[in-house]
Chains A and B, each alone.
Chain A
Amino acid sequence: MREYDIVVIGGGLAGLMAAAAATKRGKKVTLLSLGSGTLTIGGGIVDVMGYLEGGIPAATPSAGLLQVGEGHPYKKIGRPAIEESIRFFKEICEQEGYSYIGNLDKTQWIPTAAGTLKPTCLVPKTMDTTELKKADKVTVLGFDALKDFYPSLIAKNFKKIPAFAQKEYEVVMVDPKLSEGRDVTALDVARWLDTEEGLASCIEKMRNVIDSGSVVIIPPVLGTRPDYAVKEKLEKALGCHFIETASVPPSITGLRLRTMLVRYLKKNGVRIVEQAIVAKSIVEDGKCVAVITEGVDRERTYYAKSFILANGGFYGGGLLAEPGKVIEPIFNLPVEAPTDHELWANYSLFSSEAQPFAKLGLDVDEKMRPLDANGKVLLNNVYVAGRNLRGYDFSFEKSGNGVAIASGYQAAMSV
């Protein structure tokens, strides 16, 4: 029988990070993945802790970490491991030529396509706002026919932000001549800039509308590949600074990050099985022996010494909501949920409280092993990571990718 050291279930950010940390430790890893995870939808910006209970912005991600409640995954993982996980993540990015900027001691406020600012922790260099903050005059550049990015709206809304109100804004447009066929998305423009001809033609068009030395806000279009070639070439040719905004799906930053991490894993010998639907597990004496995938043809059994469960939450498929209860389908681990469905959601609009529903998930110990209601470890060699963990509302507190990285790392280090 082929037996691996670790089988990771789920190829979202948590699973990818878990696999990366495990191979770094010299483990033989199989990653069972299904679909391409939330990264391509949600994006490659790493939030760690943006808002505290009550909707108060955390002074820094670090400060936010100190203030999370007892049940929060960060509390279990602990500060040293969170720091190490962020360091490890940045190390991979650096090594792969797509480095991220930021650290736990600083909140980065990055522009969104709606002209608001959003707090986050780590961003690719294409979203570095250093020059934006310094600039007196800002150019907002849109592309003709591009959906979901309205430069004048951004300029108008920036005027309402105190720190940005004094700046002067100029709106300019470039026509990528991509009007043939379907609607134009940021992905289309990014692919256009991936090509030499596209880039050259874009530089020519930009020259006509922006001055050298400008600070330019653009949609996330600086290439689809995990490198800074497009950004660097544009900036060199035009003598400008470009800053991408956060994006709408499909997310270019998420696509780049995913491509990079998958490439890193393959280079390091991780066996990746795509379209692997894990349906059940074989458990003997409190240990998982194997997990079983269910294809249209037949079941396949994957044996390993340890397993990392990183298959997402309600959205990813790791948790299933049924009337009055929540189910974790692979190990049938307990998920504590109020039997009264009404209590799952916080119905008051614009609430400053997190959603109870979003906080449902698996309870774990400090090693990320699943616990029963009495705090007893249920499975000795199974570790949980990512969106299926209990005790946090990523959307409310802005912590999604941060928890994925920290818990994926912690799970792999605990094995």
Chain B
Amino acid sequence: MKKHHNNPDSCTACTVCIANCPVTAATRKFRGPKMVGPTLERMRLSQDDIEPSLEYCSNCKNCDMSCPSGVPISTLNMLARAKYFKNRKRSLRDWILSHGEKMAKLSAATPGMANFGMKMSRGILKKIGISDKAPLPAYASKSFSKLFKNLKQTSYPDKVVFYPGCFINYNDPQVGMDFVAVMQANKLEVIVEEDFVCCGSPLVVNGFLDEAEENAKQNVQILKKWTDKGYPIITCCTSCGLMLKQEYQELFHIEGVAEYAKHLYDADEFLLDLHDQGRLNTNFGTLNEKYMYHAPCHLRAQGMGLPGVELLALIPGLDVQDADAGCCGISGNYGFKDDKYDISMEIGSGLFKAIKDSGRDTVVSECGTCRLQIGHGANVKTLHPLTLVRKSYEAYHK
């Protein structure tokens, strides 16, 4: 069964997806994945019809994960959303939330505009439809690409290509730096392409499909070039990873994705593969620490289990407990929207409670926006798994 066969007819109307959709559980305004996705898609094939509640879908992919018939429901929803916006005017809010990369570049180029998103009064943001309560990310003072350029790596014959993605690049560059340190500890040199652009995930969820496709074309060409040369590509952001390997195939018809996807890895999975081959640096120092773990939906959707949990289990002393409480609710920029903020917090409430009940004050998760939401909703510190891997390597040498 191929997962990218956009065929609504394989839906048997079993309703399992409805039972598993976190947005359906949180609000009655959403009619649910089955109705909005496959059922209406059958009609859309013949007429230009639109389901108004489609805007509530967050593209979290829990429906896809539960469907017994392999219907790519969330992608049908995103395609329908793009079609809906084809000839309609877009809100400033949606434009801003979709163009984080442009916004970041703009603020970097205009010193006075630094931290535009944060400094611009929350009142103004609220006026255009961005929640004044949402955990909007701040821009880092130096982007990952700047930090990386100034970093002296040891050169090794084995190299990997890193796709940082916007969040790591502009908001949380430390994760990228931790990644490089971990690769170096494994005698691997990291290559970062200047010409990579945003994977397009924030564009797709807001219906800017054509722009996302332009980005995809550019990324595909670069990714393919490197994997053709035999270099693996690695991401630390699970939504970027899912976009580059899966959603590109479902949404667009671009040659080459299937080829490079074979060599595109999540960082944790890559390290576990090294371990399987007996070449992971296992000089892990003891970390007598306790953490909760949250599995991003976009990781679970990738059919590789929870590599972060398996990887961290290799570190002596470390106690990492999977919160196992479902979607955090943020879904990229969904929870930033004023009319979606409450839904997003309601979705995450189960997870926040599980975290608070655990009494642990730090949560580990691969996804940057999940980390923002969890920090906000459960009032805890958050980390990427690789930060702990790096810390453990460093502890070994102390």
Contact = CB atoms under 8 A, between A and B. Distances in A.
Contacts of A182: 28, 30-32, 35, 53
Given A277-B303, A295-B303, A317-B1, A35 B68 contact: yes
Contacts of B14: 41, 249-250
A181 B28 contact: yes
Interface residues of A, number: 38
Nearest to A276: B303
B264 interface: yes
A188 B28 contact: yes
Interface string A276-303: 1100000000000000010111101000
B47 to A, nearest CB: 21
A265 B267 CA distance: 26
A181 B28 CA distance: 5
Contacts of A277: 1, 3, 303
Interface stretch (B18-26, B327-335, B390-398): B18-26
A36 B68 contact: yes
Interface in B53-112: 53, 64-70
Looking at A37, A274, A296, A316, which has the most chain B CB atoms within 10 Å of its CB?
Answer: A296
B262 to A, nearest CB: 4
A315 B16 CA distance: 14
Looking at A36, A178, A185, A263, which has the most chain B CB atoms within 10 Å of its CB?
Answer: A36
Contact of A181 (B31, B245, B306, B322): B31
Contacts of B53: 181-182
A298 to B, nearest CB: 4
A295 B3 contact: yes
A255 B1 CA distance: 25
Contacts of B261: 296-298
A274 B65 contact: yes
A266 B323 CA distance: 11
Contacts of A315: 68
A180 B31 CA distance: 11
Nearest to A315: B68
B28 A36 contact: no
A187 B1 contact: no
A174 interface: no
Contacts of A295: 3, 302-304
B30 A2 contact: no
A311 to B, nearest CB: 11
Given A293-B303, A295-B303, A300-B304, A249 B262 contact: no
Nearest to A262: B324
Nearest to B2: A296
Interface in B186-240: none
B29 interface: yes
B30 A191 contact: no
Interface string A292-333: 010111101000000000000001110000000000000000
Contact of B3 (A41, A296, A298): A296
B315 interface: no
Contact of A255 (B19, B70, B264): B19
A409 B4 CA distance: 35
Contact of A297 (B30, B245, B272, B324): B245
A351 interface: no
A1 interface: yes
A273 interface: yes
B276 interface: yes
Nearest to B266: A297
A323 to B, nearest CB: 19
B68 to A, nearest CB: 4
Contacts of A266: 322, 324
A272 B18 contact: no
Contact of B16 (A34, A35, A317): A35
Contacts of A2: 272, 276, 310
A277 B67 CA distance: 13
Interface in A149-185: 178, 180-182, 185
Nearest to B276: A1
Contacts of B302: 275, 295, 297
Interface in A371-392: none
B42 interface: no
Contact of A317 (B15, B19, B68, B300): B68
Looking at B29, B302, B305, which has the most chain A CB atoms within 10 Å of its CB?
Answer: B305
Contacts of B306: 271
A170 B106 CA distance: 69
B67 A35 contact: yes
Contact of B245 (A1, A37, A191, A296): A296
B142 to A, nearest CB: 32
Contacts of B386: none
A186 to B, nearest CB: 10
Contacts of A180: 28-29
Contacts of B35: 182
A36 B66 contact: yes
A38 interface: yes
B249 interface: yes
A338 B77 CA distance: 42
Contacts of A36: 16, 19-20, 65-66, 68
Contacts of A273: 303-305
A40 interface: yes
B246 interface: yes
A35 B322 contact: no
B339 to A, nearest CB: 14
B145 interface: no
A181 B26 CA distance: 12
Contacts of A300: 303-304
Nearest to B4: A296
Interface of A: 1-2, 34-38, 40-41, 178, 180-182, 185, 187-188, 191, 249-250, 255, 263, 266, 271-277, 293, 295-298, 300, 315-317
The list of the 10 closest CB pairs from A to B, nearest first, reads A181-B28, A275-B303, A273-B305, A250-B19, A35-B68, A297-B261, A182-B31, A298-B262, A36-B66, A250-B15
29 contacts: A35-B16, A35-B67, A35-B68, A35-B69, A36-B16, A36-B20, A36-B68, A41-B15, A178-B28, A181-B28, A181-B53, A182-B31, A182-B32, A182-B53, A185-B18, A187-B18, A249-B16, A274-B65, A275-B300, A275-B301, A275-B303, A293-B303, A295-B304, A296-B2, A296-B261, A297-B261, A297-B302, A317-B1, A317-B68
Given A35-B16, A36-B66, 4 more contacts: A275-B64, A275-B65, A296-B246, A298-B262
